[in-house]
Amino acid sequence: MATAALTKDTFEETILGNETVLIDFWAEWCGPCRMFGPIYEQVSEEYPGVVFAKVDTEDQPELAATFNIRSIPTLMIFRDQIGIFSQPGALPDQALRSVVDQVLALDMDEVRRSIADEHGHDDAASHDHADDHDHDPLPI
């Protein structure tokens, strides 16, 4: 599957209309972005059920600002409309494949339970246990 360019007008429909969406925030002038681009494109061909999208931060500054993108390239991943991964820096092809495989292997019901528990735990912690923040990170 080829990569798709995202804009502020197509972003929401892309996230809502697809189970798994990877987003590469990049810019033409960025050397690491130019190195990562072909890797991202190549790996996209290996996962036909996953949307590999790109946001040109120069063309779409509102999207970059919305997601607080401070360094490019930055890879974000949404699964079932939940942002589950965000990391700046160019990944080698094997690392990108590993991240995609981990995302696809996630039990999203467990992720939703973890989010709900964390939100409930945060509320209780802020009232009863201000120093008790034992949050398990997501399995990525």
The pLDDT tens digits for 71-89 are 999 999 999 999 999 999 9
> Which of 2, 5, 14 lies closest to 42 in space, CA to CA?
2
The structure's pTM equals: 0.81
What's the CA gap between 66 and 63, in Å, rounded?
5
What average pLDDT score do residues 104-125 get?
80
Q: Which of 23, 30, 53, 76 is catalytic?
A: 30
Asked about 119 being catalytic, the answer comes back as no
On whether the CB atoms of residues 121 and 67 are closer than 8 A, the answer is no
Q: What is the tens place of the pLDDT at every residue in 11-54?
A: 999 999 999 999 999 999 999 999 999 999 999 999 999 999 99
What average pLDDT score do residues 49-75 get?
95
Asked about 86 being catalytic, the answer comes back as no
CATH architecture of 4-109: 3-Layer(aba) Sandwich (3.40)
* Residues whose CB is less than 8 angstroms from the CB of residue 115 and which lie 6 or more positions away in sequence, other chains included: 82
Q: Which of 33, 69, 72, 100 is catalytic?
A: 33
What's the CA gap between 86 and 8, in Å, rounded?
19
Q: Is it the case that residue 1 has pLDDT exceeding 80? A: no
Is the peptide bond prior to 61 cis by the omega test (within 30 degrees of 0)? no
